[in-house]
Amino acid sequence: MNAHPLLDSLRRPIHDLRISVTDRCNFRCTYCMPKEMFGDDYAFLPESELLTFDEISRLTKLFVSLGVRKIRLTGGEPLMRRNLPELVAGIRSIGGVEDMGLTTNGAMLGQQAEPLYAAGLRRLNVSLDALEPERFGRMNGRGYRPEAILKHIDHAVQTGFEVKVNMVVQKGVNESEIVPMARYFKDRNIMLRFIEFMDAGNDNGWSYEKVVTKKEILERLQSAFALEALEPDYFGEVAQGYRYKDNQAKVGFITSVSESFCSSCTRARLSSNGKLYTCLFASDGFDLRALMRSGADDQTLLAAIRSVWEQRADRYSDERTEQTSRNRTKIGMSYIGG
């Protein structure tokens, strides 16, 4: 770690970089890219506007020099970006990168698990919101069945990946899946993480009335399982972890609505067209791609990144109210990378 870590205005270090490699996705999940907003004629970014792999690697090196140690590849659906193992291998070769993961809906994982593993990727987060086929098909907006995703998860585990599963819980939609999902992944010793339905972007019709809080989810789980709380593994860890007492399987909670973790947020986000965002709920970002393509050298880019982070004062989840959420324009989750 740097002798003088880069800190924002609230003394939070930069440690994690989330890189969106594409704004495209093959799902139309109702809480992220509802098909009413992202129809078949939706204009996604042309390839010329996406960061190239060389540009992503260059920026990653700069972020690492400022203190970043963890990288997460996101989208959109990152497996839709062609030749992704090349980028994985390039990032893995950067000295100082201690951990790299990828978040995916899992639909394309069956054919890509081995190339990604061979390139050096070891951790996957797979989004899955229900086991009941009709419910899952409605939620993903494309009629994808859970059986295929579950098969790909098993394949990834057999390949050697550490897999975590993310479930977004919405009141009146899939809260009945909480215990069945927990039991399914407990039996396979795969960590399931429950995510409170968040107001990321302006397309998901968010309101507090649709939120199932960690407290409510935990009460449901405790009616079926004996759980014990775990200590955080590191400063800024997002998920609050619990362990089942009768085996070593774990479950987690991401509580950005009911129990904000803004005070320990160490994450920067790089959009697929090269804008730097300092919060998931940001309204705008700093255009690193434009600066880079104008011929800026590394020192100029470093100075820009440092300036953005040092001025960072984001505390959206701490300050959130339903009224401010409705009145504030936020970057879409599929664009900023979740």
Radius of gyration of the chain (CA): 19
Q: Has residue 114 got a pLDDT over 90?
A: yes
Q: How far apart are CA 312 and CA 279, in angstroms?
A: 9
What burial letters (b/e) apply to 102-130, b meaning 16+ CB within 10 Å?
A: bbbbbbbbbebbeebbebebeebbbbbbb
List of residues 6+ apart from 303 with CB closer than 8 A: none
pLDDT bucket at 326, cuts 50 / 70 / 90: low
From the number of C-beta atoms within 10 Å of its C-beta (0-12, 13-18, 19+), residue 215 rates as exposed
Work out the number of other CB atoms within 10 angstroms of the CB of residue 225: 17
Q: How far apart are CA 107 and CA 90, in angstroms?
A: 24
Q: Has residue 92 got a pLDDT over 60?
A: yes
pLDDT bucket at 319, cuts 50 / 70 / 90: confident
Q: What is the dihedral of CA 160, 70, 109, 76, to 10 degrees?
A: 170
Amino acid at 265: C
Mean pLDDT of 280-297: 95
Do residues 311 and 262 touch, judged by C-beta distance below 8 A?
no
Higher-confidence residue of 163 and 202: namely 163
Of 28-42, 77-91, 219-233, the least confident:
28-42
The pLDDT, as a whole number, for residue 34 is: 87
Q: Which residue has the tokens 């979740």?
A: 338
Token pair, residue 310, equals 């040092």
Where do the DSSP E strands lie in the chain?
A: 16-20, 70-74, 99-104, 123-127, 162-169, 191-196, 227-229, 240-244, 250-254, 267-270, 275-277, 286-287
The pLDDT, as a whole number, for residue 188 is: 97
pLDDT bucket at 324, cuts 50 / 70 / 90: low
Amino acid at 282: A
The pLDDT, as a whole number, for residue 330 is: 60
pLDDT bucket at 338, cuts 50 / 70 / 90: low
Residue 174 sits at the vertex; the CA angle it makes with 161 and 198, to the nearest 5 degrees, is 75
Q: What is the pLDDT of residues 30-85, one digit of tens each?
A: 888 888 889 988 999 999 999 999 999 999 999 999 999 999 999 999 999 999 99
Q: Which residue ranges make up each domain of the chain?
A: 16-336
Work out the number of other CB atoms within 10 angstroms of the CB of residue 187: 10
Q: Under CATH, which architecture does the 16-336 domain have?
A: Alpha-Beta Barrel (3.20)
Q: How far apart are CA 116 and CA 259, in angstroms?
A: 35
Higher-confidence residue of 260 and 113: namely 113
Do residues 276 and 216 touch, judged by C-beta distance below 8 A?
no
Residues in the chain: 338
The pLDDT, as a whole number, for residue 76 is: 94
The pLDDT, as a whole number, for residue 202 is: 57
